[in-house]
Amino acid sequence: MSGPQCCANPPTLNPSSGAGHVEKVGGLDSYVSGSPDSKLAILLVSDVYGYEAPNLRKLADKIAAAGFYAVVPDFFYGDPFVPDNAERPIQVWIKDHGMDKGYEDAKPVIEALNSKGVYAIGAVGFCWGAKVVVELGKSSAFIKAAVLCHPSFVTVDDIKELKVPISILGAEIDQLSPPALLKQFEDVLASKSEAAVRYVDSFVKVFPKVAHGWTVRYNVEDEAAVKSAEEAHGNLLEWFVKYVK
């Protein structure tokens, strides 16, 4: 399931990028942005390139500007995927960085935020991170709302188990989560909304003419790419403003 598209357009990592700073949150080095006094937090779970990606940090700053405390943990412990390392292709790298481990590592981060007085947390996951966020969303104990951007490894069965409002933003050109799969997700979520037992609000959108990774791995000099990414950023912010309160 992790193919070339999963790793396309790698960012140039920059540990000093962004308007925020790095500190320990729940035992993990984390890029944080926004007022630490905010009672509302958004957890950003990166793709395989990790928390030093400038576009990801720029998005965290944008989320912080909307009044949230944005937290981007380093779930890879200083070992993001390096596409030029022929000895460690993605299939090998991912064995050391499973999404199940990311899910477990996210729990202490959430606990640390709660202990600081944060009472509502949302989470957005990109590619690899989307699976982590889905796992968190299978219980209402961890997060209030979820957003998935061009998810990887997420299955229909995962979507069936969701307990929190979810927004799924996908790309028209995506081998990992093609529009046909997103349509299945949408159908499952629609049936959940209609079920009297458990109402889960949802939003599924496929962005035309963009490829997997477009929300954080866009070329800042490509006007059309920036516009599509910013539209997605606006959608995810609207979702969190609506449900993380």
Give per-residue pLDDT as tens, 43-67.
Answer: 999 999 999 999 999 999 999 999 9
| Mean of the per-residue pLDDT values of the chain | 95
Task: Say whether pLDDT at 196 is over 50.
Answer: no
What the chain holds in terms of domains, given with CATH numbers, is 4-243 (3.40.50.1820)
Task: Say whether pLDDT at 140 is over 50.
Answer: yes
DSSP 8-state class, residue 15: T
Concatenating the DSSP letter of every residue in 146-183 gives EEEES-SS--HHHHHT--S-EEEEEEEE-SSS-HHHHH
Compute the average pLDDT of residues 8-37: 97
**Calpha distance 190→174 (Å, rounded):** 22
pLDDT at 169: 98
pLDDT at 95: 95
Compute the average pLDDT of residues 133-152: 97
**Calpha distance 61→59 (Å, rounded):** 5
* Token output for 171: 């790309």
Confidence of residue 200 (pLDDT cuts 50, 70, 90): confident
Task: Say whether pLDDT at 108 is over 70.
Answer: yes
Percent of the chain with pLDDT over 90: 92
Compute the average pLDDT of residues 67-84: 97
Task: Say whether pLDDT at 211 is over 60.
Answer: yes
Q: What is the longest distance spanned by two Cα atoms in the chain?
A: 52
Compute the average pLDDT of residues 208-236: 97
Task: Say whether pLDDT at 234 is over 80.
Answer: yes
Confidence of residue 3 (pLDDT cuts 50, 70, 90): low
pLDDT at 158: 97
Closest CA to 169 of 73, 81, 239, 67: 239
DSSP 8-state class, residue 39: S
Question: In terms of C-beta density within 10 A (0-12 exposed, 13-18 middle, 19 or more buried), how is residue 180 classed?
Answer: exposed
The total number of residues written for the chain in this structure: 245
| CA-CA-CA-CA dihedral for 126, 187, 200, 228, to nearest 10 | 40
Residues 6+ apart with CB under 8 A from 184: 156, 159
